[in-house]
Amino acid sequence: MTAERVDEAIEVIAREDAELGMWAKAAADVLTEGEGEEMIHQSSLQHRLWCYLPKKTDEESWAPLVALRAAWTYAPATTG
């Protein structure tokens, strides 16, 4: 998935929910460093999800993160 395809996926989410789109963009920027998904490595992703986020994110912020995960999972596939 190229950087353009990552952006397309974020646009799909943002069309459904603007705030969720903002969260998706922030997550993608952190995980891909502005590049495509090839920048995501399993070990660094697991570290961020299971070690970094729980320590750095207050409990009230988890609801949008969970919604983002659901939206990302069920977003229609983009072409290109």
- What pTM was estimated for this model as a whole? 0.53
* Separation of alpha carbons 5 and 28, rounded Å: 11
Q: What is the pLDDT of residues 20-37, one digit of tens each?
A: 888 888 888 877 777 777
Secondary structure (3-state) at 78: coil
For residue 58, the one-letter residue type is: D
Q: What is the DSSP letter of 2?
A: -
Mean pLDDT, the chain, as a whole number?
76
Give the confidence band of 3 by pLDDT, cuts at 50, 70, 90. confident
Residue 1: pLDDT band (50, 70, 90) is low
DSSP conformation letters of 16-63: H-HHHHHHHHHHHHHHHTTS-GGG--HHHHHHIIIIIHHHHS-GGGHH
The dihedrals phi and psi of 39, each to the nearest 5 degrees, come to: -80, -15
